[in-house]
Every structure is written in structure tokens, then in C-alpha cells.
Chains A and B, each alone.
Chain A
Amino acid sequence: MAVLAAQDLRKSYGGTEVVAGVTFGIAPGECFGLLGPNGAGKTTTLRLCLGLTDPDGGSVELMRHPVPGEARTARVRVGVVPQVDNLDPDFTVTENLLVYGRYFGLPDQLIRGRIPGLLEFAGLAARAEARIQTLSGGMKRRLTLARALVNDPDLIFMDEPTTGLDPQARHLIWERLKHLLAEGKTIVLTTHFMEEAERLCARLAIMDRGRFIADGSPRELIARHIEPHVVEVHGDGVIEWADREGAALASRLEKSGDTVFCYAKEAAPLLASLSRHGELRHLHRPANLEDVFLKLTGRELRE
């Protein structure tokens, strides 16, 4: 039984179809990742799922309630970590959680009982009375995550939860999200960090220009869309090498600036050729999700 099901969702702004026929379902306990370049339609898809905007076509069922028709009821069991910080700057850390819990109709006593656990979870126990302005970016992000949990939701939406965070803060968030998944929560996550998607999501969809262009587990996507070996080559004369030797040895070549990416089933012939060209430097690595992403959505900048 899906906690979230979208059928042929469509939404246009100013004649451009931002979400152009998207269908998916999310099972309880799953971590589903929505990947895509900026402007792919990820945030609009989330807004449609939450009932914050009406679709031009298609339907959404959230926690078994039709949305947006019964969005108010559906959101009782849902938590949201938005992309931009919208913590209440007039309040302390504790007040932010208390006031947010009230929006769900929870009694103060119940919320106050949950706050110590939430602060512990967010690593903010020592900052309970701190004002929002005194928190670092990572702390604010963690507090936003704690705020999304104040109603003990079954399903949590996260819109780029680690954008703008340093590696320490990012790893801490990932660890917390794994904790939530272990507790049986369902997570829907948008991101453009492939590493994040690979670590957390059992299933992903890659979105571009309003459509899902691929979906599956990270391993499936890599196996289905890309050769297992990648050799990145750069240095003087790399383009000449690529045209003369690389192209024949790799199943696929991509040039990006001064670097040539060689994708191949077997890396040995490429590496042998490169060993005869001391002027070229290279990196041999297994293919990853980022390679899939770049293959499917292209290398050009989006904004």
C-alpha cells in the first residue's frame, strides 16, 4: 500500500510544462530519491504531492487522502524539510519546536515531552534556549529536521536537505536520516548530490525537463545506463590521443573542457595505451551515479 502515489502529474507555468506527466508510488519504509538538475521540476513535484499547488492534470494520493482536496488531513502524518531556511527568527530553538507542534493541533504538554528527544536527535540539546540567529547553517538545518519530526510523521519530504552544508554537517544529517529509515519512516528526498542519493536511497528517479527519464536502484541505474569502468584522462595532447587511440578503445568518450571521460566494459586496453603516453595523467575508477546522471541529463549548465 503506497504512502504516496502520483498519477500522470502535470503542471505548467507560463506555457512551460514544468512537470510533464509524472507517475510514481512510494511504499512505506522506503527512501526514494528524486534527482535532477536545477529547474528539472523536483520542487514543483514535491509541492504537488503536498497539495500546495493544484495540478493541471493527474492526481496525487498522500497518506491515502486525495490531494489537494484533503491535503489538510493528509499532512497531519507528514513532515517537511524545505529547501530554504524558514525557521522563526523571533524564537529560540525550543520555541520553534513548540510553536510548530501547535500547528498540528498537538497539546503543549505532548510537544514539550517530545522536545528533549528531538533536540538530542538534532545534536542541539545544549542550544535549547539559543536564538536562531546564533546558530550555524548546519545547526539550523538540523533544527529544521527536528521541526519536521515534531508531529512524529510517517512520511518525511526533504528538499535538498544538505545543500550548502560542510562535509561534517552533511555526514551528520545522512547519519540521522539512516536512523529515521531504521525506525521505519518513509523518506522522499530531492537532491543533486549523487553521493547522497547513492548512500541513502534504495530507489531513485532521475528527472529532467519535467519528466522521469530513468528510475531504479542506484546499482540498477549504473548497470543499465553506463559502462562499468571510467577512465578520466587529462594533460597536453589529450584530445589528439582521444581521437587517435581512445575512441577506438572505449565504448564511449565524452570531452568536457580539458578532460576526456572514457567509458568502457574493459579498462585494460585503455590503461595499456595510456601507459605509452607519459604526458597524459589519468584516473581509473568504477562508474557511479554521477556518470549516469551526466549521461542522461548532459553536461551543459542549466542556469
Chain B
Amino acid sequence: MKNVFFPPAVSLRFVPVWRRNLLVWRKLAIASVLGNLADPLIYVLGLGYGLGSFLPQVDGVPYVAFLAAGMVCSSTMNTASFEAMYSAFSRMHVQKTWDAIMNAPLELDDVALAELVWAASKSVLSGLAILAVIWVLGLSRSPLSLAVIPLLPLIGLAFGAIALAMTAMARSYDFFMYYFTLGITPMIMLSGVFFPLERLPAAFQAVAAFLPLAHAVALARPLLLGHFPGAFLLHIAVLLAYALAGFYAATVLFRRRLLG
């Protein structure tokens, strides 16, 4: 067995693969944007205004304004995860698109990078769509909320990279269900998306310190509510670490799977 642990060997050749995915997306763009928007919008409106009407203020703001940051982050996370799992798995395993690409002068690592950047790109669109709704509804009026925009690709890269590593291990689509039910769903509950983290028992808060979504929310919520996030370098570093470690793990696992 050859050494598969060397660092990712990527090149700019990943760009045409990214463009391939963009061309497919453009054919289905409207349906795709609507699909990405509908789910978080239902949460913002349903939970935010519905449940929010029963609640006093949360952390000093109306519940719907509190929820907005959680929705931006979780929607970005979901889009990146779906794309890097279901869609990338289709291209790798079902359609054999990757096999065709790798007969051209590209390496597997280029293809993996293209998938990661594509998943992040698509997730940025999702996040932007929710941000637009938030601004239109007047849930955030602070100019600081603009700083959420550069945060979106970082969230997309972190979750796209983790999801790619899952794809590299998946034998079928069923595998992704485990990741969602055992990984993503509990993480949403422990990351301050729906309610403040401080309400959780200390043990859960300790777990949250390791969850990328918690760090994303910790950055997005203050920015949307108009104040500067504390410990922002730490939060950025954690998201970056997940992106880098996830991508490295994905390349190693893909090499083992496809280049053996």
C-alpha cells in the first residue's frame, strides 16, 4: 500500500471542475435557490414569529432577531453538507464523473478541492439568501451585519470539508443519514441556534466549545445584532482548523478509496 498521508497536492486545474458544477447548477438555478431558501425561511417565520410571540425577549432582543443568526449559519452549513455529500457522492460513485475527470491532467486532490470550493460557493448563496430576508424583514439594521458575508465561505469550507470526508467513507447514500441524525442535528441543538448556549448545563457547554457550528453562531449573532464578537480570532481559527483538517482527512480517505 502506497503512502496516502502526504499533504493535498492541489493545482489551479480545480477551476474547470468547479465551473463544471456551476454549469450544471445554472440549468437548475431557480429551483435550487428556492429549495435552499424555503426551509430556513419557514423556520425564521414559523419559529421566529410563531414561537417568538410566546416568548419574552431572548438575550435582550426579540426571539426572531435572536434566531436569525442561527438560521444563517445552519442554512449555510446544511447546503455545504448536502452538496459535499449527496451531490459529490453522485459524481464520484454513481455517475463516475470523477473517473472521467481524472483521465485528464488533474489529480484526485484537484477534484476534491473543486468539490469543496463548489460546496462552499453554493452554501454562500444559501447564506446570502437568508441574510437578504433578514435585512428585508428589518431583523438586523446594523452595518456590522455586512461582516457576516465573509464569514459565510468560512462556514461553507468547514462543513464542506467535514462532509467530503464523510463522502470518502460512504458506501451508499444511507450513510449520510447517520451523519445528519447523529452529527448535524445534535450539533444544531448544542450550538446556540435556537436558544442561548448559556441555558445549557455546563457539560453540554463544554462539548459546544468543540463544535464548529457553535463558533459560527458565536461570530454571526453579535454581528447581526450590531456588536463586535468577543474572541473572534479563536472562532475563526476553529472554523479554519475544521476546514483544513476535514479537507486533509478527505484527501487521505479518497486516495485510499480511489487510487488503491
CA distance A102 to B105 in the complex (A): 10
- Residue contact B24 to A82, C-beta cutoff 8 Å: no
Contact between B23 and A95 (Cβ–Cβ < 8 Å)? yes
Question: Which residues of the other chain, A, contact B13 by a CB distance below 8 angstroms?
Answer: 72, 103, 105
**Across-interface contacts of B2 in A (CB, < 8 A):** 54
Please, what's the 1-or-0 string for B15-52, where 1 marks a CB less than 8 Å from any CB in chain A? 01101100110010000000000000000000000000
Residues of B within 8 A of A72 (CB): 11, 13, 105-107
Of A23-31, A83-91, A184-192, A278-286, the one touching chain B: A83-91
Chain B residues with CB under 8 A of A71: 107
Give the dominant DSSP class at A's interface: mixed
B24 touches A91 (CB 8 A): yes
- Is A40 at the interface (CB under 8 A from chain B)? no
Q: Which residue of A lies closest to B17 (CB)?
A: A103
State how many angstroms separate the Cβ of A237 from the closest Cβ of chain B: 52
Q: Are B259 and A82 in contact (CB under 8 A)?
A: no
Distance in angstroms from B254 CB to nearest chain A CB is 13
Does B137 lie at the interface of the complex (its beta carbon under 8 Å from any beta carbon of A)? no
A172 CB-CB contact with B under 8 Å: no
A73 beta carbon closer than 8 Å to chain B: yes
Chain A CB within 8 A of B95 CB: yes
Q: Can you name the residue of chain B whose Cβ is closest to the Cβ of A99?
A: B20
A window 42-64: CB within 8 A of B: 50, 52-54
Is B104 part of the contact surface with A, judged by Cβ < 8 Å?
yes
A100 touches B23 (CB 8 A): no
Chain B residues with CB under 8 A of A125: none
Please provide the chain B residues from 188 to 247 with a CB less than 8 Å away from any CB of chain A in the complex: none
Given A54-B2, A86-B95, A75:B104 Cβ within 8 A: yes
B27 CB contact (under 8 Å) in A76, A80, A86, A90: A90
How many residues of B are counted as interface, with CB atoms below 8 angstroms from the partner's CB atoms? 24
Q: How far is the CB of A102 from chain B (nearest CB, A)?
A: 4
What residues on B are CB-neighbors of A95 within 8 Å? 23
Judge if A104 is at the interface, Cβ distance under 8 Å.
yes
CA distance A91 to B24 in the complex (A): 7
**Given contact pairs A90-B27, A99-B16, A105-B13, A13 touches B103 in the complex (Cβ within 8 A):** no
- Cβ-defined partner of A86 (8 Å) among B11, B19, B99, B107: B99
Size category of the A interface is 20 to 34
Which residues of A in the span 65-114 have a Cβ within 8 Å of any Cβ on B? 71-76, 78, 80, 82, 84, 86-91, 95, 99-100, 102-105
Q: Could you tell me the distance in whole angstroms from the C-beta of B120 to the nearest C-beta in chain A?
A: 20
Expressed in whole angstroms, the minimum distance between the Cβ of B178 and any Cβ of chain A is 27
Known contacts A53-B259, A84-B96, A99-B16: does B103 contact A90 (CB below 8 Å)?
A: no
On whether the beta carbons of B106 and A102 are closer than 8 Å, the reply is no
Q: Is B102 part of the contact surface with A, judged by Cβ < 8 Å?
A: yes
User: Considering the chains assembled together, what is the distance between the CA atoms of A75 and B101 in angstroms?
Assistant: 11
A13 to B260, Cβ gap below 8 A?
Answer: yes
User: B97 near A: Cβ within 8 Å?
Assistant: yes
Report whether A86 and B104 are in contact in the complex, using a CB–CB cutoff of 8 Å: no
User: Which chain A positions have C-beta within 8 A of B95?
Assistant: 86, 88-89
Most central of B2, B24, B97, B103 by chain A CB within 10 Å: B103
Q: Which of A52, A76, A148 contacts B105 (CB 8 A)?
A: A76
Of chain A, the residue at the smallest CB distance from B91 is A88
B167 vs chain A, min Cβ distance (A)? 18
A-side contacts of B101, CB under 8 Å: 103
The 9 closest A-B pairs by CB, nearest first: A103-B104, A102-B16, A80-B103, A86-B96, A54-B2, A86-B100, A75-B105, A90-B24, A76-B105
CB-defined A-B contacts under 8 Å, sample of 25: A50-B103, A53-B260, A54-B2, A72-B11, A72-B106, A73-B105, A75-B104, A82-B99, A84-B96, A84-B99, A86-B99, A87-B100, A88-B95, A90-B27, A91-B24, A99-B16, A99-B19, A99-B20, A102-B19, A102-B20, A103-B17, A103-B104, A104-B104, A105-B13, A105-B105
List the interface of chain B (C-beta within 8 A of A): 2, 11, 13, 16-17, 19-20, 23-24, 27, 95-97, 99-107, 259-260
Q: Which residues of A contact B (CB under 8 A)?
A: 13, 50, 52-54, 71-76, 78, 80, 82, 84, 86-91, 95, 99-100, 102-105, 147-148, 151
